[in-house]
């Protein structure tokens, strides 16, 4: 991946206006005098768009809803964050997680699949949330600003690369200068210690098992103790785990009363779903789950059966998948995961009335639940009921923002409802959110050319988008020419 998003935005933003600066006297540093929360958010937002452009984000509303629900449960106890948090799953088998300026936190699919319970996953998220609330990214910018401008840009670019390709990022840092590299790594170790300490507090306040942090670190360290360094998980490279660090996590956990923790089934269902979504061959997953069920090799039987059903559906075995899901849903009639899977099967099998009934049942149980809203809109569109799909999405957007999938459905709904101009505008938003600037610009140009069909307000919206996005595209192209192949 190119270093474009972070380097480019740092160069474009320049020194923040004095009025936009957030003062953080309790932090003991001057990070707040260099990078404003608004600038951090723009960096993180651009970074996420770039990940989407490279198809590195899991495009699944249920996986996204789960990781955001867990993340927001933890971040509700965090202090010092101005921007809202955004959590997303990276489509990678690598065991890693990272925090990006502005409250954006990515968790690799490989890490979720490696964790054994929700408390372990929560411990990683709490750690990354603490990186954000302590503004470690802003401190890194401060450290880089003390170097010469070319060195500062090189270091920040290396950090951007290290977010999704840690090994390459370390190599890039090494290319800056040996002394500067050591400074950056020492700075990172201090950040890690602070994130562990504050992350533990978030973990406990949110009702999770404080021992999970040390458990996860220890299991990763033990499993990779004798491995070749090149095969060590990226989490251990970007979050170095030592015996002292594990001991400190254990000591912190021991300060809290021992009690029995009930792990949520939502974690096990989400992990099973992600396992199927990221598998190359669903039939291999079907066989794996069948073997596990036969031999009793599972943590939660319901989650294993759910994964089996999803794998059957992905392999085209809809009837068998439906029978498995119906058994699960009969035992837990209010479980959204089972209902949504059944509704999805009905849409694929063109059983639209039954699918619509199921989606509406989910929304009665869980109002405004994004996966159900988007599923309902998709079912309505598939049934040729574009006007109802459009109303469903418009009702939702009164209080919620859309993601790329939502914009794509909105564009289709506007088209089916006979609103081609609004369809182009929604399609432009879809392309922009996915980091496809040329295609986004193309859509708003189409709107501006519709002198007789587009309203003045629609043409003005399109013009404003074009000016903003064209400038961004030109700056990106300019930056690409500066970068080595």
Residue numbers annotated as active site? 128, 196
Query: DSSP for 216-236?
Result: HHHHHHHHTTTS-GGGS-HHH
- State how far Cα 89 lies from the chain centre: 4
By DSSP bridging, strand 97-100 and strand 86-90 are unpaired
Query: DSSP for 247-274?
Result: HHHHHHHHTSPP------HHHHHHHHHH
User: What is the dihedral angle through the alpha carbons of 115, 118, 124, 126, rounded to the nearest 10 degrees?
Assistant: 180
Longest distance between any two alpha carbons in the chain, whole Å: 71
**Distances 93 to 182, 232, 277, 323 between C-alpha atoms, Å:** 29, 13, 12, 31
As a whole number of angstroms, the distance between CA 435 and CA 433 comes to 6
Helix axes 336-348, 301-314, angle to 10 degrees: 10
As a whole number of angstroms, the distance between CA 111 and CA 126 comes to 14
Nearest to 41 by CA among 98, 84, 88: 84
Instruction: Name the H helices within 255-351.
Output: 265-277, 282-295, 301-314, 318-331, 336-348
User: What is the dihedral angle through the alpha carbons of 432, 438, 441, 447, rounded to the nearest 10 degrees?
Assistant: -110
By DSSP bridging, strand 97-100 and strand 104-108 are antiparallel
| Radius of gyration (C-alpha) of the chain in whole angstroms | 24
């Amino acid at each position: 991946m190119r270093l474009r998003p972070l380097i480019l935005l740092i160069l474009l933003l320049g020194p923040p206006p004095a009025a936009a600066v957030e003062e953080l006297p309790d932090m003991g540093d001057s990070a707040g005098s260099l990078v404003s929360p608004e600038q951090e958010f723009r960096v993180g937002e651009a970074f996420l768009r770039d990940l989407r452009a490279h198809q590195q984000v899991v495009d699944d509303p249920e996986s996204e809803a789960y990781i955001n629900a867990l993340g927001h449960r933890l971040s509700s106890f965090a202090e010092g964050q101005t921007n809202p948090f955004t959590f997303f799953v990276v489509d990678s088998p690598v065991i890693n997680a990272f925090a990006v300026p502005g409250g954006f936190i990515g968790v690799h699919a490989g890490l979720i699949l490696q964790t054994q319970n929700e408390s372990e996953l929560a411990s990683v998220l709490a750690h990354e949330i603490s990186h954000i609330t302590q503004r470690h990214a802003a401190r890194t910018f401060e450290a880089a600003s003390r170097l010469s401008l070319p060195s500062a840009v090189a270091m920040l670019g290396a950090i951007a690369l290290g977010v999704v390709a840690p090994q390459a990022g370390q190599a890039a840092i090494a290319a800056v200068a040996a002394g500067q590299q050591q400074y950056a790594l020492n700075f990172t170790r201090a950040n890690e210690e602070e994130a562990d300490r504050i992350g533990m507090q978030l973990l406990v306040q949110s009702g999770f098992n404080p021992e999970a942090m040390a458990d996860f670190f220890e299991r990763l360290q033990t499993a990779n103790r004798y491995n070749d360094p090149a095969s060590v998980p990226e989490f251990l490279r970007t979050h170095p785990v030592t015996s002292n660090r594990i001991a400190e996590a254990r000591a912190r956990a021991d300060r809290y009363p021992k009690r029995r923790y009930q792990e949520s089934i939502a974690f096990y269902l989400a992990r099973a779903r992600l396992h199927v979504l990221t598998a190359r061959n669903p039939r291999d997953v079907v066989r794996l789950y069948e073997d596990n069920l036969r031999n009793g090799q599972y943590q939660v039987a319901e989650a294993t059966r759910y994964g089996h059903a999803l794998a059957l559906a992905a392999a085209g075995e809809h009837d068998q998948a439906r029978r498995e899901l119906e058994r699960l849903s009969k035992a837990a009639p209010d479980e959204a995961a089972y209902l949504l899977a059944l509704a999805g099967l009905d849409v694929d099998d063109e059983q639209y009335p039954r699918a619509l009934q199921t989606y509406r049942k989910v929304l009665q149980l869980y109002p405004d639940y994004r996966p159900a809203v988007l599923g309902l809109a998709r079912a309505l569109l598939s049934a040729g009921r574009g006007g109802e799909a459009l109303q469903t999405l418009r009702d939702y957007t009164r209080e919620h923002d859309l993601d790329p999938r939502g914009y794509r459905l909105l564009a289709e709904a506007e088209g089916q409802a006979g609103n081609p101009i609004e369809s182009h505008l929604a399609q432009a938003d879809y392309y922009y959110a996915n980091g496809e600037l040329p295609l986004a610009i193309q859509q708003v140009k189409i709107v501006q050319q519709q002198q007789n069909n587009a309203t003045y307000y629609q043409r003005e919206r399109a013009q404003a988008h074009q000016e903003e996005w064209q400038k961004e595209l030109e700056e990106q192209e300019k930056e690409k020419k500066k970068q080595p192949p």
